[in-house]
Amino acid sequence: MSYDEGLAERIRQVLGPRDDIEERKMFGGLAFLRGGRMFCGIASGDLMVRVGPDAYEKALGKPHVRPMDFTGRPLKGYVYVALAGLRTAAALRAWVRQGADFVSTLPPGPAKRPPRSKKRGGRVVPRGGR
């Protein structure tokens, strides 16, 4: 799966130069994280936004929004916004800010994990294995 680089650039413009935002390739797309927590991202041509459980139903009532069902099961608190719902800079800015504002209410994400495996004696050993 790839992502819309044009939409990624528009998100970067909305965010501006900030030290507290990290970009990471995830889900076959691109995610934007604040404090180690994903607040928005791009999967194919859709914007993923973490709106939180309290704002979820209200977000679903807006045009061009559907549940985020990346695994076939909707993730409560996350929505997809189709490109048609992001035509204006103001619309995109509102969604990106909503996601960033929501994750700012959460505790920081977990610290970065060590690599999943280490090479020992010429063989790959899973973390925690022998």
Query: pLDDT digits over 97-119, tens only?
Result: 999 999 999 987 676 665 555 55
What is the enclosing helix (H) or strand (E) of 5? helix 5-15
pLDDT of residue 32: 96
Whole-number Å distance between alpha carbons of 24 and 32: 6
Q: Burial level of 9, CB count in 10 A (0-12/13-18/19+)?
A: exposed
pLDDT of residue 50: 97
**What tens digit of pLDDT does each residue of 39-52 get?**
999 988 899 999 99
Residue spans per domain, the chain = 5-105
CATH 3.40.50.300 fits 5-105, yes or no: no
State the pTM of this model: 0.81
Who has greater pLDDT, 28 or 83?
Answer: 83
CA-based end-to-end distance of the chain: 35
pLDDT of residue 23: 95
Whole-number Å distance between alpha carbons of 71 and 9: 26
The beta-carbon contacts of 126-129 under 8 Å, at least 24 apart in sequence, are none
pLDDT of residue 26: 86
Tell me the three-class secondary structure of 88-129, residue by residue. CHHHHHHHHHHHHHHHCCCCCCCCCCCCCEEEECCEEEECCC
